[in-house]
Amino acid sequence: MTETKVAAPVAPPEVKAKHRAMWALGDYPAVAADVIPSLGPVAVEATRIGPGDHVLDVAAGSGNASIPAARTGASVVASDLTPELLDAGRVLAAAEGVDLAWEVGDAEALPYDDATYDAILSVVGVMFAPFHQAAADELVRVCRPRGRIGLVSWTPGGFIGQMFATMKPYAPPPPAGAQPPPLWGDEQHVRSLLGDRVTDVVAHKQQLRVDAFATAEEFRDYFKAAYGPTIAVYKAIADDPAKVAALDEALVDLGRRHDLGGGAMEWEYLLFTARRA
């Protein structure tokens, strides 16, 4: 008797529409370019991307990992739910003379055949898909046997994980069944999602030094203007000045607690690589 595999639940269309719109708010391409530009190359190097590889970057945004991967000579597809981010990536890639494909795709239901790619990347991207198991299943499904998977995710205890914890009391409730994005920064959580379908796992926490902001207030104001999830939370409480003021102060306090001096901070992330079994 053949066992039928039950597909993991995925976010309903209205949730996907909200996510698509959220990431179009502000200027995430600026965040990727100005604040976290080194994360993409970290994933590309760790996953050993090179000439001849067929690579898929899931939840690619404006190409933080896709463009560095294409620079190695790999054949790259950058896939993201938000067309505006892909449009920005096309402009950036063209300016650098880098050739790759930009395609709209849902991390929980990728529009690609099984075992299509030599390597799968996602840099602080797939972690934001609401239903983690569905997204993890897709990463494995489209990867060829012995192909590589390379993920960079913010940790729960690191700066960005703590920023989401700080914003949570002010944010609308998540959809039923959705899991917090920073769980992807917990090694055991990722191992449980991928299970015995992967091997050769290497996972360790690293620090990204961020010196883009001179003060905690500057960090807060930048994220209020440029980072979609932060903008969305402020929009949800815009009619309550007391809540706005409280969140303003909470984010400044977060920035001050992580200030290493002169505004410099270290943001912790998990670098996770594996091969499909």
Q: pLDDT tens for residues 63-97?
A: 999 999 999 999 999 999 999 999 999 999 999 99
Q: Give me the phi and psi of 21, to 5 degrees please.
A: -70, -40
pLDDT recorded at residue 3? 39
CATH 3.40.50.150 fits 13-210+266-276, yes or no: yes
Q: Calculate the average pLDDT of the chain.
A: 96
Write out the H or E segment, with its range, that includes residue 200. Answer: strand 198-210
| Count of Cβ atoms closer than 10 Å to residue 175 Cβ | 14
Helix (H) or strand (E) holding 266: strand 265-276
Neighbouring C-alpha atoms within 13 Å toward the C-beta of 6? 2
More confident residue, 263 or 44: 44
Q: Examine the pLDDT at 159 and tell me if it is beyond 70.
A: yes
Cα gap 169→176, rounded to integer Å: 17
Query: What per-residue confidence (pLDDT) applies to 262?
Result: 87
C-alpha dihedral sign at 191, 161, 83, 65: negative
Contact between 196 and 277 (Cβ < 8 Å): yes
pLDDT digits (tens, 9 = 90+) for 37-73: 999 999 999 999 999 999 999 999 999 999 999 999 9
pLDDT bin (cut points 50, 70, 90) of residue 156 is very high
What average pLDDT does the segment 168-180 reach? 94
